[in-house]
Amino acid sequence: DTGVSQNPRHKITKRGQNVTFRCDPISEHNRLYWYRQTLGQGPEFLTYFQNEAQLEKSRLLSDRFSAERPKGSFSTLEIQRTEQGDSAMYLCASSTQAGALKAGELFFGEGSRLTVL
């Protein structure tokens, strides 16, 4: 299977600890997105990479959050000093740069669920 892979699938941590999530996109996709989804809400945009460049960050992404995509392949999302409000499903998606015909066609992973106690 060559879909988007995320790990860990579920992380339980205590408030104040740091956590890191990893996303492996579809290999030929140069665009990678992070979204956050809480219960009863749709996915909220966090950040977006084209290759290794981080092109856009949401105001939702406080300074405790950092995302990287060092070689333009996999990406990591780190949350420092976690708070209970960080509990959510963190979704990764990738897409290809193929003009208007492919615009918005995101391929999502199954997500990483974070529970902060």
- Measured from the CB atom, the residue of 43 and 86 that comes closer to another protein is 43
Distance CA 40, CA 112 (A): 17
Among 11, 23, 43, 114, binds another protein (CB under 8 A): 43
Which residue from 11, 21, 31, 82 is in contact with another protein, where contact means CB under 8 A? 31
Q: Which residues lie below 8 Å from residue 113, measured CB to CB, with a gap of 6+? A: 9, 10, 11, 88, 89, 90
Asked whether position 53 contacts another protein by CB under 8 A, the answer is no
DSSP letter for 98, please. -
Asked if residue 51 binds another protein (CB under 8 A), the reply is no
40 Cβ neighbours under 8 A, 6+ residues apart = none
Residues 6+ apart with CB under 8 A from 1: none
Using CB under 8 A, pick the residue from 12, 60, 103, 117 that binds another protein: 103
Closest CB 104 distance from another protein, rounded Å: 4
Give just the sign of the alpha carbon dihedral 102, 54, 25, 27: positive
> Could you say whether residue 33 binds another protein (CB under 8 A)?
yes
- Residue 91 binds another protein, judged by CB under 8 A: yes
Q: Which residues bind another protein (CB under 8 A)?
A: 3-4, 31, 33, 35, 40-45, 48, 50, 55-56, 91, 93, 97, 100-101, 103-111
